Amino acid sequence: MTDRRTFLQSAGITGLASLMATHATEANEQSRTSGDLSITDIKITPIALPDPPILAASGCHGPYFLRNVIEITTADGIIGIGETHGGLKNTEQLQACAIQLFNKSAFAYRSFPELFRKAHLSDAQFVPSPAVYAGFELACLDAIGKATGQSLSRLLGGPVRDEVEFAAYLFFRYAADHPQVFADQHLQDDRDRGDRALDQWGEVRTPETMANMAKKWHEKFGFTAMKLKAGVLPPDVELEALQAINEVFDGKAPLRIDPNGRWTVETALRIARELQSMPLEYYEDPVAGQEAMAQVRRETGLPMSTNSCVTRFDHIADAVKNEPVDIVLCDHHGWGGIPACQALGTLADSLGWRLSQHSNNHAGLTMAAMTHLGAVTPQIVHPSDTHYPWLVDGADIIEGPNLRFEGGKMKVPTAPGLGVKLDHDKLALAHEVYQKSGMRERNDAVTMQRFEPGWKRDLF
């Protein structure tokens, strides 16, 4: 009879041999596909995707939002994909920087910023935004993941969670079939009025309609945390809207409000007194600048968050001195990539900060990237922002339907790389709309002035 120790030893040897054989097989398979990740081709595609007339402190969104899609081809035929900020300036910077990357390895993505800097030493005006680097980094990570058979989150240390929670990002807005939408000269698609409007959320410009939309978003997407984009209507009306949302959820939904720095300190302090009795998760950028934020934080004791006054590593020293925030909304475009946000997380641990994620309009590649970032960054403990629900079904550039939220969360993709695929027919259509629309930058103020002549971004 075999004793327990002998059995366990033999089982362990067998298991180890089996594991080694499995890894050897995987290594052999990978060696046929990932031997050379030198970049042989780069394609930058500017696109325009449909956007409803949602409102913020900057004005009103136009009929499209702009993005740039990056595709890198490697010597072994692997194509890595990325997405980043749109607009002509970013497109031109991406194109100028791409020239420096030919024959460089996708594995060497951390060396790219220095390549860009050295290549343009003689041009003091050329300073690529962090979003330019982040777009290339994402495409490289996707290529590396595909070459090694690993998901992006596994490449970056492994997920600490299998699904990432997001918040309902609630905007005041005009109806999708408002006459001024169709008066926009940039409009180049077949959206129309009534049931052919871009979406059916209608006009939301009162506390009652906002609370109703919050309820519907919870029912459709499962979001439990509610973020109100403020800085649009008079502050007391926005406070009433947040109170109405609170009533809809019986005081059980975590709340956040973001006036985008459009309030004075006096207004922020007055509204803060009314927020004390609510389940406020955090008070986001009610005022502009670290010193004003610090004053509101000191005088109210409310948890403060920002995506405005701490958005780069060189802002951190002043933030340590001024103490304006408790939560930083990281953004892999703005901070310079996903590993950069992980580094921010490490600093946040030391500083006693917590993290969430900032969002701007984006497509499915960024949605997947944000989900991976949320999975590999333990310090992201608050539900992340995302504009993705505002992108109507079928309008994304990825294969298949739009990515789905379940219970307010998104499952972390497990396929190699980003875990989503480009639909090149959809991409071509989005590029055609970009070309025909003539939109080359976002200008919310100009759009808003069509809806409200004479509108200015004055402080409340």
112 neighbors 139 (Cβ within 8 angstroms): no
Give first-to-last CA distance, the chain, whole Å.
84
pLDDT in tens, 443-460: 999 999 999 999 999 999
| Residue 8 amino acid letter | L
Element at 357 (helix H, strand E)? strand 354-357
Residue 1 has a pLDDT of: 39
Of 449, 458, 50, residue with least CA distance to 259: 458
Q: Which of 146, 218, 227, 229 is catalytic?
A: 229
Tokens 């042989």 label which residue? 40
229 catalytic per annotation: yes
Residue 424 has pLDDT above 70, yes or no: yes
Q: Which two tokens stand for residue 327?
A: 């939560």
Domain boundaries, the chain: 39-150, 163-418
d(CA 116, CA 315): 23
Q: Which residues pair with 331 in a beta bridge?
A: none
Coil, strand or helix at 26:
helix
pLDDT of residue 33: 59
Q: Tell me the DSSP string of 190-240.
A: ---SGGGSS-S---B-SHHHHHHHHHHHHHHH---SEEEE-SSS-HHHHHH
Dihedral sign of CA atoms 24, 27, 31, 36 in order: negative
Tell me the Ramachandran region of residue 157: left when phi exceeds 0, alpha when psi lies from -120 to 50, beta otherwise. Answer: left
- Of 159, 201, 208, 77, nearest to 372 (Cα)? 159
Per-residue pLDDT for 229 more than 70?
yes
The number of residues making up the chain comes to 460
Mean per-residue pLDDT over the chain, rounded: 94
- In this prediction, residue 325 carries a pLDDT of 99
Residue type, 81: I
Cβ–Cβ < 8 Å for 156, 338? yes
The helix (run of H) or strand (run of E) holding residue 335 is helix 332-335
Q: pLDDT of 64-79, one tens digit each?
A: 999 999 999 999 999 9
- pLDDT single digits (tens) 312-337: 999 999 999 999 999 999 999 999 99
CA dist., res. 374 & res. 98, Å (int) = 28
| Cβ atoms of 91 and 98 closer than 8 Å | no
pLDDT at 330: 99
Q: Which of 363, 58, 51 is nearest to 176 (CA)?
A: 51
Does residue 26 register a pLDDT over 50? no
pTM for this prediction: 0.92
Q: Are strands 79-85 and 64-74 parallel, antiparallel or unpaired?
A: antiparallel
CB 287 within 8 A of CB 262: no
Task: Give the C-alpha distances (Å, rounded to integers) separating 444 from 368, 387, 448.
Answer: 27, 16, 6
DSSP 171: E
Active site residue 436: no
d(CA 319, CA 325): 8
- pLDDT at position 121 is 82
Q: Which CATH number fits domain 39-150: 3.40.605.10, 3.20.20.70, 3.40.50.1860, 3.30.390.10?
A: 3.30.390.10
Non-local CB neighbours of 290 within 8 Å, separated by 6+ positions: 309, 310, 315, 318, 319, 322, 324
Q: Show the DSSP H helices in 389-423 as ranges.
A: none
pLDDT band at 122, cuts 50/70/90?
A: confident
**Catalytic hit among 218, 333, 358, 382:** 358
Q: What is the pLDDT of residue 27?
A: 39
Distance of alpha carbon 447 from alpha carbon 60, whole angstroms: 6
Distance CA 284, CA 305 (A): 5
**Would you state the structure tokens that stand for residue 179, as one six-digit string?**
């006459």
379, 411 contact by CB (below 8 A) = no
| pLDDT confidence band for 123 (50 / 70 / 90) | confident
For 254-307, how does the pLDDT look when each residue is reduced to its tens digit (9 = 90+)?
999 999 999 999 999 999 999 999 999 999 999 999 999 999 999 999 999 999
| Average confidence (pLDDT) over 50-54 | 99
Residue 22 pLDDT class (50, 70, 90 cuts): very low
| CATH entry 3.40.120.10 includes domain 163-418 | no
> What is the three-class DSSP state of 59?
strand
Residue 425 CB neighbours (<10 A): 10
Token duo for residue 117: 């800097």
CA distances from 399 to 142, 148, 403, 406 (A): 16, 22, 10, 19
- Strands 64-74 and 39-50 turn out to be antiparallel
Residue 95 CA to residue 98 CA, distance in Å, equals 5
Q: How confident is the model at residue 120 (pLDDT cuts 50, 70, 90)?
A: confident
Report how far residue 405's alpha carbon sits from residue 403's, in angstroms, rounded to the nearest whole number: 7
User: What value does the mean pLDDT take over residues 35-41?
Assistant: 95
Would you place residue 35 in the very low, low, confident or very high pLDDT band (cuts 50, 70, 90)?
A: confident
Q: What is the pLDDT of residues 187-211, one digit of tens each?
A: 999 999 999 999 999 999 999 999 9
Distances (CA, A) of 186 to 89, 183, 259: 19, 9, 28
